Amino acid sequence: MRLAVLSLLLVLAGCASWSKPPVPKQPEGPTDGGVMTKVATDLDKVDGRVAAAVTVARENAEKPEVVKAETGVALSYLPPASEADVAFARQRATKADQKDYKAAEEYGKKLLARINADWSRMEAQQVEAKRVSDLKDRRIEELGKEIERIKKDHAEQTWTWVGAGLAAAGALALAFLGPKIGIPILLGGAFCGAVPFIIDSPYFLWVAIGTAAIAAGLGLWWLADKVRDSVNTPPTH
């Protein structure tokens, strides 16, 4: 009976030694604002240098070599123009109609304003995506802690029910089989009921280490005693 109780306690101890569940985390999304900030800085640099080169070229309209050099610098910051766009610009230059130039300038200003508005909207969406991502991460962390708490409560309830069952079994054994059988079962029930408090104790680790050391010492002492007895026992004829 004692061996059965001890085996039950060992099995329950193994079941109760649950490790903390890992807190899940959502995959990293494209919410890093640093990339967008760098792109925006580079685009501003390109726009500024193109505009500066064109401005200087216009200021030196009477110097063809300067105009050619500055417009070459401006073109180096831009992707190659399509054949259709080049043909359209050449047609405009051939006509040299100021109304066409005015319309092209107005279209360019409107297009630039729309691009700036879209970029600002994209930056705002990026900030919102980062905020939502952070909220999801915090929620996932909260759910992980809640799962850990539920598992801990379940383990504590398991030990409580096992302790209560052993206490009832010990009481019956004490009444019908005597104290030699009933008292060990009652003590086992009391131990099961106290397990959650023992595990939560800040001294649990040191007590476990000390208990293991004492058990190892007793085992070595018992082994040494058995060896000594076998050596000192005279041979029988």
**Count of other CB atoms within 10 angstroms of residue 94:** 8
CB atoms within 10 A of CB 189: 21
Q: Which tops the pLDDT comparison, 68 or 9?
A: 68
Three-state secondary structure call for residue 235 = coil
> CA-CA distance, 153 to 39, in Å (whole number)?
51
Domain end call among 80, 103, 118 = 80
186: which 2 tokens? 């009652």
- Using DSSP's 3-state secondary structure scheme, residue 98 falls into helix
Say what the pLDDT of residue 27 is. Answer: 54
What sign results for the dihedral spanned by CA atoms 150, 138, 30, 116? positive
Tens-digit pLDDT profile for residues 22-79:
545 555 555 555 776 787 788 888 889 999 999 999 999 999 999 999 999 999 998 8
**Rounded to two decimals, what is the model's pTM?**
0.48
Instruction: Let me know if residue 191 belongs to a domain.
Output: yes
Q: What's the full length of the chain, in residues?
A: 237
Residues 200, 158: Cα–Cα separation, whole Å: 15
Which of 20-24, 38-42, 94-98, 153-157 is the least confident region? 20-24
Please check the confidence at residue 17 and state whether its pLDDT lies above 80. no
CB 123 within 8 A of CB 30: no
| Segments forming the whole domain that contains residue 63 | 27-80
Task: Look at residue 16 and give its three-state secondary structure.
Answer: helix
How far apart, in Å, are the Cα atoms of 188 and each of 10, 26, 211, 212? 11, 44, 17, 19
pLDDT tens profile 170-188: 788 878 888 788 788 877 7
* Domain count of the fold of the chain: 2
Q: How confident is the model at residue 235, as a pLDDT?
A: 57
Q: CA nearest 166: which of 190, 202, 150?
A: 190
In a domain, 126, yes or no: no
Looking at residue 63, its pLDDT comes to: 93
Domain boundary among 60, 80, 100: 80
pLDDT recorded at residue 26: 52
Lowest mean pLDDT among 11-25, 126-140, 173-187, 190-204: 11-25
Chain segment 197-230, per-residue pLDDT in tens: 766 667 667 766 776 777 787 778 878 777 776 7
Closest CA to 146 of 48, 21, 13: 21
234: in domain: no
| Domain end position, chosen among 63, 80, 97 | 80
pLDDT at position 6? 39
Within-domain flag for 12: no
- At 38 the pLDDT is 81
Whether residue 208 is contained in a domain is answered as yes
236: left (phi over 0), alpha (psi -120 to 50) or beta: beta
Whether residue 73 lies inside any domain: the answer is yes
Average pLDDT over all residues of the chain: 78
* Residue 127, domain member (yes or no): no
Quick one: pLDDT at residue 185? Answer: 80
Residue 88 lies in a domain: no
